[in-house]
Amino acid sequence: MNASAKHKLRVPRPKSGVVRILVGTRKGAFVIKSDRERKAWKVDKVWMLGHTVHHVVSDPRESGTILMAARTGHLGPTIFRSTDSGKTFTEASKPPAFEPAAEGLSQRTVNHTFWLTPGTDQEAGVWWAGTSPQGLFKSRDGGRTWKPVRGFNNHPMLDQWTGGEKDGTPDGPKLHSINIDPRDPDHVYIGMSGGGVFESTNGGRSWEPLNRGCAADFMPMENPEYGHDPHCMVMARTNPDRLWQQNHCGIYRMDREEGVWQRVGKAMPKAVGDVGFPIVVSPFDPDSAWVFPMDGTSVWPRTSPGGAPSVYHTADAGKSWKRQDRGMPSEHAYWTVKRQCMAHDEHDPLGVYLGTSQGEIWGSINEGRTWKVLARNLPHVYSVEVLGIQP
């Protein structure tokens, strides 16, 4: 079902100048800052050292506002909020937390908030959050207080959709990839590992699975309606009806009017495969996307295939893919790049950035043609976003 266009689509214009990369890690958050030409980079800020930071996201509607999903080894999950570009952070007075379970559903507790997405331009102060285990929460006051999205968290099918605690990542099952249609704030997509992709067209009151065409070859049944493992899903800014998905079972693209995922990863080299965690799409061109393949064979090392890391880029909506590894090590580099660890800026040519589990930030300022390391020796990277850019 396509959204009715309640609001005009705002297409970003190319930016220039300094880029600030917001990095969430297992041991704090960091800002990596460039010069005006994006040639020299440095670690500019260290925030909340020691906190487990799953996502750091700036508000593209409100300069200076940054939200951070964090917890520590001892303390439960919270949201930190800054309105002065990170000079100071205050903690949410009511962070995401489940209500008593609806009848027939198991009681859950939030282990951590995993994903943050700002609302549309028309909804100042609105933020969405996805948690582990899978829960959806919304704030209408800029992240100070959060309420459960009952239409999702209390859905009678939720336990069946998610498959319980066993169906999740080693860090726990997650709700991620919250994408809001910029033309209609009531039109929301989410991804769940495990669970699949789901869609709401009424602001979260009701939900439908959106997994047709997507494989779930780890399940005993053929073509299940739900139970899939989308690792990351993104919406094209210039065409919100174009969705891209890096799934456990390959790279997919959907044109929403068709309602069927197409496995465009079949065009990837067989020796590399089309398994990975992150995917990004150009903010200017819905046919242009980047992935970072990983080894998904045998016991799933989740490291770069053959120890040779590379980004792959398509400029033709997935019909063909081009290897982009100039500048990256060519052997014995066993990187893992998690689902939130790849991002782009809005410069022309586009900058693409990624963070590794070894604590390195890599970047390309020419759309992936050449790469260089921007920061080393950080903790295990959990998320990479660019300041001022819609995730």
Partner 1 sequence: MKVYLPSPLYSYTGGKSLVEARGDTIREVLAALDAQYPGMAFRMVDEVGHLRRHIRIFVDERPEEDLDTKVQDPMVLHIVAALSGG
> What residues line the site for partner 1 (CB under 8 A)?
72-76, 78, 91-95, 97-100, 107, 109-110
As measured in angstroms, the least distance from the Cβ of 24 to partner 1 is: 18
Is residue 84 classed exposed, middle or buried when 0-12, 13-18 and 19+ CB atoms within 10 A define those classes? Answer: exposed
As measured in angstroms, the least distance from the Cβ of 74 to partner 1 is: 4
What is the C-alpha to C-alpha distance for residues 48 and 63, in angstroms, rounded to an integer?
Answer: 21
Closest CA to 303 of 336, 281, 333: 336
Q: Rounded to 5 degrees, what angle do the CA atoms 238, 241, 242 make?
A: 75
Largest CA distance in the chain: 57
As measured in angstroms, the least distance from the Cβ of 94 to partner 1 is: 7
- Mind giving me the DSSP string for 267-295? GS-TTT-S-EEEEEE-SS-TT-EEEEE--
User: Is the bond preceding 209 in cis, omega lying within 30 degrees of 0?
Assistant: no
As measured in angstroms, the least distance from the Cβ of 70 to partner 1 is: 11
Nearer to partner 1, 91 or 258 (CB): 91
As measured in angstroms, the least distance from the Cβ of 159 to partner 1 is: 17
Provide the edge-to-edge strand list for the sheet that holds 342-344.
342-344, 352-355, 361-364, 372-375
Q: Which residues contact 125 (CB under 8 A, 6 or more apart)?
A: 119, 139, 140, 141, 142
Nearer to partner 1, 110 or 268 (CB): 110
Nearer to partner 1, 109 or 206 (CB): 109
Closest CA to 228 of 179, 191, 194, 268: 194
Helix (H, G, I), strand (E, B) or coil at 256: coil
What is the C-alpha to C-alpha distance for residues 275 and 169, in angstroms, rounded to an integer?
Answer: 15
The pair of three-digit structure tokens given for residue 33, joined into one six-digit string: 């800052």
Nearer to partner 1, 135 or 196 (CB): 135
What is the C-alpha to C-alpha distance for residues 244 and 333, in angstroms, rounded to an integer?
Answer: 27
Nearer to partner 1, 90 or 223 (CB): 90
Nearer to partner 1, 93 or 330 (CB): 93
As measured in angstroms, the least distance from the Cβ of 111 to partner 1 is: 9
Nearer to partner 1, 73 or 170 (CB): 73
Q: Could you give the C-alpha distances from 347 to 14, 15, 240, in angstroms and in order?
A: 5, 5, 20
As measured in angstroms, the least distance from the Cβ of 390 to partner 1 is: 27
As measured in angstroms, the least distance from the Cβ of 165 to partner 1 is: 15
As measured in angstroms, the least distance from the Cβ of 87 to partner 1 is: 15
- HSE-CB of 368 using CA atoms within 13 angstroms: 24
The pair of three-digit structure tokens given for residue 53, joined into one six-digit string: 């930071």
As measured in angstroms, the least distance from the Cβ of 203 to partner 1 is: 23
Helix (H, G, I), strand (E, B) or coil at 311: strand
Nearer to partner 1, 70 or 272 (CB): 70
Nearer to partner 1, 34 or 52 (CB): 52
CA–centroid distance for 206 within its chain? 23
Nearer to partner 1, 143 or 265 (CB): 143
